[in-house]
Chains A and B, each alone.
Chain A
Amino acid sequence: MTRIDKNPSGADSAVTVRGLVKHYGETKALDGVDLDVRAGTVMGVLGPNGAGKTTLVRILSTLLASDTGQATVAGYDVARQPRQLRRVIGLTGQYASVDEKLPGWENLYLIGRLLDLPRKEARTRADELLERFSLTDAAKRPASTYSGGMRRRLDLAASMIGRPQVLFLDEPTTGLDPRTRNEVWTEVKAMVGDGVTVLLTTQYMEEAEQLASELTVVDRGKVIAGGGIEELKARVGGRTLRIRPADPLQLRPLAGWLDDLGITGLATTVVDAERGSVLVPVLSDEQLTAVIGAVSARGITLASLTTELPSLDEVFLSLTGHRASAPQDARPTETREEVAV
């Protein structure tokens, strides 16, 4: 079942990309991308719209040919061994790639047969996966009647039919509401628990942090940063803790006191009077715990306590000194702001 022994590029690397270039006419979608994904890990590819994320996934899943450069997935060359490669990958595209007119069960059975499973096994596998993705009740309904979240789950289930070694998730939660997004995250985490290697593209730092262990940040077809997620988080300044005391009058004293305490990382606290809360930058889980411990030891009653991740824009700002580039001619106002920054 496993084919790690056949991997010529070293046992550790499930996806290897070297100098990948792809043009669409004048536009350079990929401009020399290098990337390594270790087997059994989740690599997040973070970048704004038009950064080349989808192009990368389409090349790696053999839907698109690159202009130059090389890529192997599970040891198979994307250009020379596409059929074998297709046998070991799963793909969940940016738009749910299920057949809307077919019932959920039929969707999965069809994929099973296309992957050469015998009829009986294809049937069992469809049943199993519907069960696992909590779709058994909807098995007989056409996918067009599914909610957005159900459709994504069916899509993920379809990607899992062939027990892939490498799974490509192209913006798996774009367009989903927060609750549905959490459902999808839970499913993806469970899949990773099964030992699948995942390459995930996303526009959200939060999603990358939830799912990925390593991160590659791309912009305008180029890799602009990469590394362990913790390391990158440290570079972009970690999280922000938002504390809202029950009594608004305590807002300013609390902020001053936290600053005096000297445990809040690099920056000072900020008072957000409009929303009645204090923003405390924290770099580590230890700092986070220390701040909360101190606040509760002081006996201040809190109305709410949340952590916030830096936005994509803030990540780009910290890593590159400029904002995430908008796709050309799409957002002229922001490009002008770039000069001001």
Chain B
Amino acid sequence: MSAATIDTATTGDARIPLRSHLRHTGALIRRNLLWIRQDPESMFDAVLFPVIFTLLFVYVFGGSIGQSLGGGQEAYVQYVIPGLLAMMGMNMAQGVGTGFNTDFNSGVMDRFRSLPIGRGSVLFAKIVVELMRMLVACVILMVVAVLVGFDITHWPGLFAAVGLATVFGSALMWVFLTLGVVMKSAQSVQAMGFLVLMPLQFGSSIFAPTRSMPGWLQNFTEYNPLSSLADAARGLMVGGPVAHGLWVTLAWSIGLTAVMAPVAIHKFRTKT
């Protein structure tokens, strides 16, 4: 085996060079992609979620909420699509938690943990593949959006919104990876995710303007990062104020990642 990776003089233990980290992460990304190839049904959520949510919200609520927006269903399409884009990361992240919990409880994790790899690479690989899945979901969302009448007026803005949603999504994935490692069963991760996500999703500006909500709820939505992301995405995609939502979302993303990524890796490393 290559002697270059052995450096006992300074630390007493070998360091893992960056190149090896990248190689390991790459190999594990391949593993997670092969899973999708073996089990194409695992893409169902990424494919169907944007379709179903778009159709439901546009055709069920579109008419009435659209009226309060001063238009009709067409006005609501412009309103809700950026919101659904903001929601995408959250739904993907929840899946990461349950999927990783199942993975973690399988024997192969013991093998990974007995190999000379940086243990973070198992988590990084998972996040990279989930972000790929999220991008697929975003593409499908936009296709459906256009089919139900969404006007893409500003392509750079659209790409920026997708980018922002991805950044926030990856931050949430660290949160859910931690839950996936810490909690005992995939079911409890799912239940936990549901309990946290429902209020966050609906108590936000994702689906409807917050003007008509009671004061206490407006306060909640104001501090809800999903509102900030939805507002920023809306501004970027259809016009309107961007800066505030953008900075708040970035701050949340950086904050969550800075705290939860080390926690997730630490929990993963020490869990037995």
Report which of B5, B12, B15, B24 forms a contact with A113, defined as CB distance below 8 A.
B24
Q: When each residue 1-24 of chain A gets 1 if its CB lies under 8 Å from chain B and 0 otherwise, what string results? A: 100000000000000000000000
**Stretch touching chain A among B87-95, B114-122, B162-170, B218-226:** B114-122
- Is B13 close to A, CB under 8 A? yes
Give the complex CA separation of A91 and B23 in angstroms.
22
- Is B16 close to A, CB under 8 A? yes
Report which of B5, B30, B35, B107 forms a contact with A98, defined as CB distance below 8 A.
B107
Give the complex CA separation of A284 and B63 in angstroms.
91
Determine whether the beta carbon of A63 is less than 8 Å from that of B113: yes
- Is A81 close to B, CB under 8 A? yes
Report B-chain residues with C-beta under 8 Å of the C-beta of A163.
Answer: 1
Determine whether the beta carbon of B27 is less than 8 Å from that of A101: no
Q: A83-B14, A116-B1 are in contact. Are A95 and B114 (CB under 8 A)?
A: no
Q: Is the interface of A mostly helix, strand, loop or mixed?
A: loop
Determine whether the beta carbon of A61 is less than 8 Å from that of B31: no
Determine whether the beta carbon of A81 is less than 8 Å from that of B12: yes
Q: A84-B8, A93-B110, A97-B110 are in contact. Are A114 and B272 (CB under 8 A)?
A: no
Report which of A1, A97, A158 forms a contact with B1, defined as CB distance below 8 A.
A1
Determine whether the beta carbon of A83 is less than 8 Å from that of B16: yes
Report which of B23, B38, B109, B114 forms a contact with A61, defined as CB distance below 8 A.
B114
Give the complex CA separation of A97 and B2 in angstroms.
25
Report B-chain residues with C-beta under 8 Å of the C-beta of A62.
Answer: 113-114
Determine whether the beta carbon of A63 is less than 8 Å from that of B110: yes
Task: Please report the total number of B residues contacting A with Cβ < 8 Å.
Answer: 35
Q: Which of A27-69 contact B (CB under 8 A)?
A: 58, 61-64
**Closest Cβ–Cβ distance, residue A96 to chain B (whole Å):** 6
Determine whether the beta carbon of B31 is less than 8 Å from that of A99: yes
Give the complex CA separation of A81 and B113 in angstroms.
14
Q: Which residue of A lies closest to B272 (CB)?
A: A64
Determine whether the beta carbon of B14 is less than 8 Å from that of A58: no
Determine whether the beta carbon of B1 is less than 8 Å from that of A93: no
Give the complex CA separation of A114 and B118 in angstroms.
10
Determine whether the beta carbon of B115 is less than 8 Å from that of A86: yes
Report B-chain residues with C-beta under 8 Å of the C-beta of A138.
Answer: none
Give the complex CA separation of A248 and B2 in angstroms.
66
Determine whether the beta carbon of A114 is less than 8 Å from that of B117: yes
Report B-chain residues with C-beta under 8 Å of the C-beta of A82.
Answer: 13
Determine whether the beta carbon of A100 is less than 8 Å from that of B1: no
Q: Which residue of A lies closest to B5 (CB)?
A: A116
Give the complex CA separation of A83 and B6 in angstroms.
9
- Is A111 close to B, CB under 8 A? yes
Q: When each residue 85-127 of chain A gets 1 if its CB lies under 8 Å from chain B and 0 otherwise, what string results? A: 0110101010111111111001000110111100000000000
Give the complex CA separation of A98 and B24 in angstroms.
17
Report which of A58, A97, A115 forms a contact with B107, defined as CB distance below 8 A.
A97
Report B-chain residues with C-beta under 8 Å of the C-beta of A64.
Answer: 272
User: Closest 9 A-B residue pairs measured CB to CB?
Assistant: A113-B27, A97-B107, A86-B116, A97-B111, A91-B114, A83-B14, A87-B116, A81-B13, A95-B107
Interface residue ranges, A against B (CB under 8 Å): 1, 58, 61-64, 80-84, 86-87, 89, 91, 93, 95-103, 106, 110-111, 113-116, 142, 158, 162-163
- Contacts beyond the supplied A89-B114, A114-B115: 8 A-B pairs with Cβ under 8 Å: A63-B110, A80-B12, A83-B15, A86-B114, A100-B106, A110-B28, A114-B27, A116-B23
**A-B CB contact pairs (8 Å), 26 listed:** A1-B1, A61-B114, A62-B114, A63-B110, A64-B272, A81-B13, A84-B6, A84-B8, A86-B114, A86-B115, A87-B1, A87-B5, A91-B110, A91-B111, A93-B110, A97-B108, A98-B108, A99-B106, A102-B31, A102-B34, A103-B34, A113-B24, A113-B26, A115-B115, A142-B38, A158-B111
